[in-house]
Structure 1
Amino acid sequence: MRHQDTFSGFIDVSGDSGFEYCYLRDFPLSIDVLGKLGVKGFLKKFRSSNFHENQDLTVNDLLSMSAFYSPDPGEELRIKLPFDLSTGKVHDHVWGQLKEWTHCAMSSIISLVLKKIKIILQKGSHDEFSINTGINGISQIMKEKEIDHCSVHYDAGHFGIYYMYKDSV
């Protein structure tokens, strides 16, 4: 999106969106696990194992999103969590930083559209992270703003969707 002069369009295949639906629900589990192990302890355990249970993957995903969307040099491993581990209280400022990415992405899309590029939004109708809800919202906003785009639904979840890429050319 930063190189509009180079690319004639973009395809979003179940990209992060609608954070209220895909990440907020992972907070209680992450608070519980990280409250017991801490960030470093969890990552040490995660890295030392060849097998990861779903809860491990969920917590690792939340840490990854926090590291990317709300990095903080003053925090353990530079990761600012969107909640307090001891009380569970959501840090509104940090949670706002994460949610702001959805709005930033929308602003980028709108500016790209001014260049008359091709936009394709793809998602599985049964996405395990509810990303389809966020993509549907983006598509609706684009319709309201009369932004030409293609929104494709697949009868699938978030995984095993490699066949979606065939529609991406």
Structure 2
Amino acid sequence: MLPWSADLAGRIDRHVIDSHVLRGNPLGDPHERPLWVYVPPGYDDEPTRRYPTVYVIQGYTGHLAMWDNRTPFRRPFPELADEVFAAGQTPPAIVVYVDAWTAYGGSQFLDSPGTGRYHTYLCEEVVSWVDDHYRTLPHRDMRAITGKSSGGYGAMVTAMMRPDRFGLFATHAGDALFETCYLPEFPQAARTLRDLYDGSYEAFLADFRGRVAMTRPGDGVLMEIYGYAAAYSADQDGTVRTPFDSNGALVPEVWERWLAVDPVRMARQEQYAGALKSMRGVWIDAGTRDEWYLDLGATAFHQAVLDAGLPSERTRFELFDATHMAIEYRYPLALAWLCERFAA
């Protein structure tokens, strides 16, 4: 494994989208966003051929330039994805890499008065732009979305909320079963706020922005929870409500707002169950040693998908021996499976 970039059999076009819906967002984040579009080998040789599309979204703190990062002895996903098509054994597709970074580290791909309209940005602006500029097959049955962690969460809820846009999805260790994956962190966050910031999130944010990030105890968990709260439980005026009090105990009316967007609970509701039942393909996986117990969330969501009426032959569920980290080798497996489902 060479420690520098390799030549691709296809190519990645790097664009910038000027988003109307992200203009004036609450955090003042850029409304011009990078967008990478991968076209498979042969795209330029067959000018009349059209292709299905797979949209790739990232986990919390993910931003588009991170796809260029390289780990010793391993290759980044764009190269692994290219290899899927270069081998010639998987039906080709266009792969779109989407950026939804915010000043809080992520958007959860939802529309929120705390962060901005990232769900609309993805489903309306990005999808329409790609369909206008590339030879796609512009139909929900030829459009998939995939991601890991918060990106896996985004894949689940986006497909459930917009089955008119996406007819397939893959989630790798996606945030789900919130009482299992999120609750254990609330007492830790409350204790850190008490000991270092007199119980004040405002004091933490002011301190965090005035120094090198991630250099004090609790930075990661405090910022992560606040980023989720900005997506799940912000008031219409942008005020972010956290789901626990100064002792780490739940604030029920806020916690209920989080639970309302838990994929497992959403899947049990009639409107979302109908969307799941309509999917042409659903891939769900997670590592059995996931630090946030997202293997349990994956299992619960898989059962909810089956309960919604999606035939088992249109699903793929796997638990594998791994933690939450460094599971990029799973992404091309799901990509190939989704592309085969396009052709089914």
TM-score, normalising length: structure 1: 0.84
Mark the structure with the bigger radius of gyration: 2
Q: Where do 1:30-109 residues align within 5 Å?
A: 30-35=189-194, 36-37=196-197, 38-47=200-209, 48-52=211-215, 55-73=218-236, 78-85=239-246, 87-102=247-262, 103-107=265-269
Aligned to 2:184: 25
Aligned-residue CA RMSD (Å): 2.3
Query: 2:316 is matched by which residue type in structure 1?
Result: C
Relative to 1, partners in 2 of residues 1:52 and 1:168: Cα closer, same or farther, differing over 3 Å?
farther
Unaligned residue ranges in structure 1 (runs of 5+)? none
Query: 1:83 is matched by which residue type in structure 2?
Result: F
User: Larger helix proportion, structure 1 or 2?
Assistant: 1
Query: Equivalent residue of 2:286, what SS?
Result: strand
Provide Cα deviations, 1:135-157, integer angstroms capped at 9, x if missing partner: 11111233344423211222111
Query: Equivalent residue of 1:32, what SS?
Result: helix
User: Larger strand proportion, structure 1 or 2?
Assistant: 2
Structure with larger RCO (C-alpha < 8 A, sep 6+): 1
* Structure 1 residue 54 displacement after superposition: 6.5
**Residue among 298, 302, 307 paired with 1:139:** 302
Query: Equivalent residue of 2:185, what SS?
Result: helix
Contact 2:177 2:296 in 1 (8 A): yes
* Structure 1 residue 118 displacement after superposition: 0.5
Query: 1:78 is matched by which residue type in structure 2?
Result: T
Contact 1:70 1:97 in 2 (8 A): yes
Unaligned residue ranges in structure 2 (runs of 5+)? 1-158, 336-344
Relative to 1, partners in 2 of residues 1:116 and 1:15: Cα closer, same or farther, differing over 3 Å?
closer
Query: Equivalent residue of 2:221, what SS?
Result: helix
* Structure 1 residue 98 displacement after superposition: 1.0
Whole-Å separation in 1 of the counterparts to 2:165 and 2:248:
45
Percent of matched pairs sharing the same residue? 24
* Structure 1 residue 50 displacement after superposition: 4.0
* Structure 1 residue 120 displacement after superposition: 0.5
* Structure 1 residue 61 displacement after superposition: 1.1
Query: Between Structure 1 and Structure 2, how many residues are aligned?
Result: 166
* Structure 1 residue 105 displacement after superposition: 4.9
TM-score, normalising length: structure 2: 0.44
